[in-house]
Structure 1
Amino acid sequence: MKMHLNVTGRVQGVGFRYTTYQMAVEIGLTGTVKNEDDGSVTIEAVGTKEQMEQFLTKLKKPQNPFAKVSHIEQYEDPTIKDYNQFNVVY
């Protein structure tokens, strides 16, 4: 399963990308997480349906006390490449 996620809220300047990276690696996903110019964060995630459900559940309630997720726009995107690992894009 290949998902494109765009997360809005207080998600930049608060370590959100790093905690997202940690969650993805813990769950076994591959892909990327990066800040966008509009203040949102984009995630490309590749994994099983079960992994994705677990990731989305955790993403909605970040363990990072400074981050706050307001909305997650998500859709399956078969054009996402197969990544070897999960990376933070700077």
Structure 2
Amino acid sequence: METQKILVAGQVQGVGFRWSASQVAQRIGLTGTVRNRRDGQVELIATGSAEQLAELVVQLKRGITPWIVVDRLSITSLPLQKFSDFQIII
């Protein structure tokens, strides 16, 4: 198990990205959080296996919905964090 912080830039606020990303993360079996940042990016903190985290990155890069446009992902490894589920932070 590992934890990653994924910053997503592009057309990702006001288009349902947090909800869509949380659904993908839950389907993959990840736990963590997703929230909007003031700089226009969305931040995901996700915990799971390396394979699960890699699948999340693939899904985010591919595009979750047609109106979400991901221009850039930045991934940082964090110390292991334990979450009970995957939540949207408002």
TM-score w.r.t. the length of structure 1 is 0.95
Identity %: 36
Alignment of 1:1-90 (within 5 A): 1-78=2-79, 81-90=81-90
CA deviation vs aligned residue, 1:30-82 (integer Å, no higher than 9, x gap): 0000000111000000000010111110011222111100000101101x531
List alignment gaps of at least 5 residues for structure 2.
none
* CA apart distance, 1:2: 0.5
| 8 Å Cα contact 2:21/2:64 also seen in 1 | no
Amino acid across the alignment from 1:51: Q
What 5-or-longer segments of structure 1 have no aligned partner? Answer: none
Q: Helix, strand or coil: the match of 1:6? A: strand
Report the count of equivalent residues: 89
Secondary structure (helix, strand or coil) at the match of 1:25 reads helix
> Which 4+ residue blocks in structure 1 deviate beyond 4 angstroms?
none
How far apart, CA to CA, are the structure 1 residues paired with 2:77 and 2:23? Answer: 22
- Distance in 1 (CA, whole Å) between partners of 2:32 and 2:53 is 12
Distance 2:13 2:70 in 1: 11
RMSD: 0.8
